């Protein structure tokens, strides 16, 4: 008898303090890719982010969503990089299209398995904008992810810097792109960030609810939110501290997240250098 493939399971974490996610306002942005000019590029470099409110049209969003749902429903049996919530493990085989999506924590490395998701991650206008934000260097996408926060249950992604998770040498420009597939609001867990704080450089990360910046370093800071309609996106610097709260609403929040670095930038062979700057779980530090 053949064994069922083993599932990727996320065990879950405690609830965060509500004070960690009380933005003072919404972030700056433009409507379309065509509106990105020198002032917007300067804003990105100064503040560490830029919003494009209508980056993708409804047909492009619909296609990406259908590609995602097909992967979740196992239409490509070779694709297994889906991480499910531990609580849903026992009932997964019984779940239909809607409920199965809400059992997913995240999905990774799918673009080579799903042309509709590859299309959005390599959209010509997106790539052109990333090229510009990388300082006119040809981009290479090195990470693709989809993140689902089901109604009421969707968990926090604690405050962190994405570069803490990547092995690029310090100083390598990294652009994150976060794309809303559903409307993303403060209530259902849109992105929140600390404008300009990418300039402070690497922060020590600790193993708490996740590998994250210490809550006491975030409390009292003036964070900004990026509420987005479906098809809106956030560009953000790999050193920008950001997080997303628990979904306290009745509305599901599905999003894509891609990361790009210059194609000619080499990665360090291991995490030693990175952990010197961002800290490690094994370090003798508490938080
Ligand atoms: O979409 C989310 O909830 C958080 C995404 C994020 O910041 C990450 O995975 O690094």
CATH of the domain at 103: 2.60.120.620
Question: How confident is the model over 127-138, as pLDDT tens digits?
Answer: 999 999 999 999
Which residue's alpha carbon is nearest to atom 7 within ligand 1?
243
Residue 194 structural domain: 8-13+20-263
Which has more confidence, 285 or 273? 273
Question: How confident is the model over 14-43, as pLDDT tens digits?
Answer: 889 999 999 999 999 999 999 999 999 999
Give dist(CA 240, CA 45) in Å, integer.
Answer: 11
Our answer on whether the CB atom of 157 is closer than 6 Å to any ligand 1 atom is yes
| Cα dihedral value 12, 13, 14, 15, nearest 10 | -80
Domain count, the chain: 1
Minimal CA–CA distance to 144: which of 231, 258, 41, 2? 258
- The rounded Å distance from CA 1 to ligand 1 centre is 39
Q: Is residue 277 part of a domain?
A: no
Q: Is residue 118 part of a domain?
A: yes
Our answer on whether the CB atom of 247 is closer than 6 Å to any ligand 1 atom is no
Question: How confident is the model over 45-80, as pLDDT tens digits?
Answer: 999 999 999 999 999 999 999 999 999 999 998 998
**DSSP secondary-structure letter at 230?**
T
Q: Is residue 282 part of a domain?
A: no
Q: Is residue 287 part of a domain?
A: no
Minimal CA–CA distance to 55: which of 180, 141, 174? 180
Question: How confident is the model over 87-114, as pLDDT tens digits?
Answer: 788 888 899 998 998 899 889 999 999 9
Q: Is residue 56 part of a domain?
A: yes
**Is the pTM here over 0.75, yes or no?**
yes
Which one of 242, 248, 249, 253 would you pick to mutate in the ligand 1 pocket, going by the greatest count of ligand atoms within 8 A of its CB? 242
- The rounded Å distance from CA 147 to ligand 1 centre is 7
Minimal CA–CA distance to 162: which of 63, 263, 234, 92? 234
Q: Is residue 74 part of a domain?
A: yes
Q: Is residue 172 part of a domain?
A: yes
Which residue's alpha carbon is nearest to atom 9 within ligand 1?
157
Q: Is residue 244 part of a domain?
A: yes
Our answer on whether the CB atom of 242 is closer than 6 Å to any ligand 1 atom is yes
Who contacts 174 (Cβ-Cβ below 8 Å, separation ≥6)?
162, 163, 166, 168, 237, 238, 239, 259, 260, 261
Given the CA of residue 154, which atom of ligand 1 is nearest to it? Answer: 3
Q: How many residues does the chain have?
A: 287
- The rounded Å distance from CA 58 to ligand 1 centre is 23
Our answer on whether the CB atom of 162 is closer than 6 Å to any ligand 1 atom is yes
Our answer on whether the CB atom of 104 is closer than 6 Å to any ligand 1 atom is no
């Amino acid at each position: 008898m053949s064994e069922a493939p083993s599932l990727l399971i996320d065990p879950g974490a405690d609830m965060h303090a509500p004070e960690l996610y009380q933005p003072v306002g919404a972030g700056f942005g433009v409507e379309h890719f065509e509106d990105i000019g020198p002032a917007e590029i300067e804003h990105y470099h100064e503040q560490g982010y830029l919003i494009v409110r209508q980056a993708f049209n409804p047909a492009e969003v619909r296609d990406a969503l259908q590609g995602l749902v097909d992967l979740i429903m196992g239409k490509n049996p070779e694709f297994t990089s889906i991480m499910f919530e531990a609580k849903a493990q026992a009932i997964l085989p019984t779940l239909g299209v809607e409920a199965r999506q809400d059992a997913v924590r995240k999905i990774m490395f799918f673009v080579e398995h799903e042309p509709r998701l590859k299309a959005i991650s390599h959209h010509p206008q997106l790539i052109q904008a990333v090229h510009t934000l990388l300082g006119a260097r040809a981009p290479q996408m090195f990470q693709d992810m989809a993140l689902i926060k089901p109604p009421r249950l969707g968990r926090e992604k604690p405050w962190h810097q994405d570069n803490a998770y990547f092995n690029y040498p310090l100083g390598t420009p990294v652009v994150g792109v976060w794309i809303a597939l559903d409307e993303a609001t403060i209530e259902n867990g849109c992105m929140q960030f600390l404008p300009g704080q990418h300039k402070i450089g690497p922060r020590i990360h600790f193993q708490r609810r996740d590998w994250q910046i210490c809550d006491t370093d975030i409390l009292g800071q003036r964070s900004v939110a990026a509420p987005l309609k479906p098809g809106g996106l956030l560009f953000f610097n790999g050193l920008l501290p950001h997080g997303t709260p628990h979904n306290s609403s009745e509305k599901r929040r599905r999003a894509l997240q891609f990361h790009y670095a210059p194609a000619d930038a080499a990665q360090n062979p291991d995490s030693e250098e990175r952990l010197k700057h961002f800290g490690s779980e094994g370090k003798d530090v508490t938080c």
